[in-house]
Amino acid sequence: MQTHRPQPPDTTAFYNTPIGQRVQTLIQRHLNSLHLPPCSRAIGIGDASPYASSLPEHTILARPAHSFHNKTSQRECVVDTTRLPFDDCSVPLIFAIHALEFAPSPPELLRALWKALTDDGYLILIVPNRSGLWAHSDRTPFGHGTPFSTGQIQKLLTQSLFKTDVKRSALITPPAFSNTAPAGFLSALPHISPPPLQGCIFSSCARTCTLA
């Protein structure tokens, strides 16, 4: 698996820029389109704070101890990704962004997330696309950590007892162009831009009890 710029970026600064705000809007559209079953609580791990408005009201924002990030909410806590402080089978929804690519052991983190989910729980996972242009620009958080190919992330999820219900690619335009591209052009791009070139892999996965 390819190793990329390992240090976590200042995600707060990124999401305060015009390009960061555009990324936030595009990813929130994907979140809002999932129409997941309603739930009262969730965990956001990595840096989910920019997307809190699309998550349940009682969402704990858990960020890794190594992240370079200014606290923006009283709901935030610092966690060790190898030993998450959550009860087994305790939450119905986990949203992970800017998380797996920085984990010392991605399989261990996924296993910990699986344990925290209820039997019918869902994991929404966003990781940098290894072949996408965003993974090669250190101006954004998606250009840091270890990016994944679609095959790599699918294999990891299956081995961690997750069944992928929704798999998409997002962030179609190159980072330098995303700040100025017209909204109509961006909405048309998924039909003409091949998924391998898109910036991140977006997966919605159900927790399973046995391997498929």
Residue 203: how many CB atoms within 10 A of its CB? 20
Give tens-digit pLDDT for 43-59: 999 999 999 989 998 99
Tell me the pLDDT band of 131, cut-offs 50, 70 and 90. Answer: confident
Domain ranges across the chain:
11-189+196-207
What mean pLDDT value characterizes the chain? 82
Confidence band, pLDDT 50/70/90 cuts, at residue 188: very low
- Its pTM stands at 0.84
Counting Cα atoms < 13 Å in the Cβ hemisphere of 66 gives 14
Residue 100 CB contacts under 8 Å (≥ 6 apart), including other chains = 46, 106, 109, 110, 125, 127, 148
Of 81 and 91, more confident? 91
Q: Among 65-69, 102-106, 196-200, 203-207, where is mean pLDDT lowest? A: 65-69
CATH number of 11-189+196-207: 3.40.50.150
